[in-house]
Structure 1
Amino acid sequence: MMNAVSKAWDGALVRKWLESRVDAARLEQAAADRRGYAAQDDYDKAAAEEWVCRSLKMSGHTDDQAGFAERVKTLLAQEEYRTTGIHDDRRFERYVRANLRKIAKMTKANDGFANTLRYQG
C-alpha cells in the first residue's frame, strides 16, 4: 500500500516560499559582499540558493507536484550551472546541487514550504 500525501500540494505556497528564499539569498549575498574575502563561501552559497529558487520559480511547474519534482530532477542532472559574479565555480555547483537535493526532499514529502523565515537550517 502506498503512503497517501496528508495534504494537498499548494502551488501558491511553493511560489511564496521560492520568492522568500530569493529575497533572503539576495540579502545574504549583500551581507557577504560587505564582509569581503573571508565571506566568499557565504556569497557563493547564497548565490546558489538564489539561482535554484529563481530557476524553479520561473519553470512554471509550481502548481503540479509531479511536474515540480521532475523539474528539480532535470536541474540535478545538468552537467554545469552558469551564472556570473560568483567566486568559485565548483563550490557554487556543489551548493546548487545541495539546494536541489533539499528541495527534492521537501517536494517528495510536501513539507517545509510554509517556513518562510529568512534563516533556515
Structure 2
Amino acid sequence: MRTATRVSGAPKAWDGAQVRKWLASRLEAARLDQVVADKQGYSAQDDYDKAAAEEWVCAALRIAASKDDQAALADRLKDLLGQEDYPVSGIYDDRRFERYVRANLRKLARMTKTGEGFENTLRFQ
C-alpha cells in the first residue's frame, strides 16, 4: 500500500503541542548552556550571550505559541523582529546579544512558515 508523501516546499501541518514542547526544551537547554558558560568564565562570554538570547526568544514566544495558531506565532515573530532593541540584564555584550536574538527569531520564522524543525527537541542542535 502506498502512503501519501508531502510535496516538497508545502508547509507541514501545524502542531501547536509540538511547538510548545520544542520551545520548552530549547528554554531549558539555553538555561543549562548559560550555567556551563558562566562556570567557564571570560572565554565563554559569547556562549553565554548566545544562550541568553535563545532563552529570551523562547520565553517571549511562549504566550503566542500557547494559542495553537500558526498565524499568531508568525505575527509575534514579525513584531519581535521589528523591535529596535531587546532589553535584558546580565549579559556581556548588548550588540552581540541582539544579533543572536535576531538570528534566533529569523530561524523560528522559517520554522514557523514551513512547520518543520520543531520535532528536534535534542539539547544540542
**Does TM, normalized by the shorter one, top 0.5?**
yes
Partner residue of 1:33 out of 38, 58, 61: 38
The corresponding residue for 2:105 is 100
CA shift at 1:60, angstroms? 5.0
1:71 alignment counterpart: 76
Aligned residues: 117
Q: Which runs of 5+ in 2 are unaligned?
A: 1-8
For the residue of structure 1 that corresponds to 2:105, the secondary structure is helix
Match runs of 1:1-121 below 5 Å: 4-5=10-11, 7-59=12-64, 62-120=67-125
Kept in 2, the 8 Å contact 1:14–1:62? The answer is: no
Q: Are 2:54 and 2:100, in contact at CA under 8 Å, matched by a contact in 1?
A: yes
Q: 1:63-101 CA deviation, whole Å, 9 max, x = no partner?
A: 111111111010000010011110000000000000000
Change (3 A) 1:114 1:59: same
CA RMSD across the alignment: 1.3
Aligned partner of residue 59 in structure 1, secondary structure:
helix
| Percent of aligned pairs sharing the same letter | 68
What are structure 1's unaligned runs of at least 5 residues? none
Q: Matches of 1:62 and 1:40 in 2, distance apart?
A: 35
Q: Secondary structure at the match of 2:86?
A: coil
Letter in 1 for 2:92: H
Query: Normalized against structure 1, the TM-score is what?
Result: 0.92
Structure 1 Cα separation of the partners of residues 67 and 20 of structure 2 = 7
CA distance in structure 2 between the aligned counterparts of 1:62 and 1:116, rounded to whole angstroms: 20
Q: What is the TM-score normalised by the length of structure 2?
A: 0.89
Post-superposition CA distance 1:1-55 (Å, at most 9, x none): xx753x3211111000000000000000000000000000000000000000010
Q: Which runs of 4+ in 1 moved over 6 A?
A: none
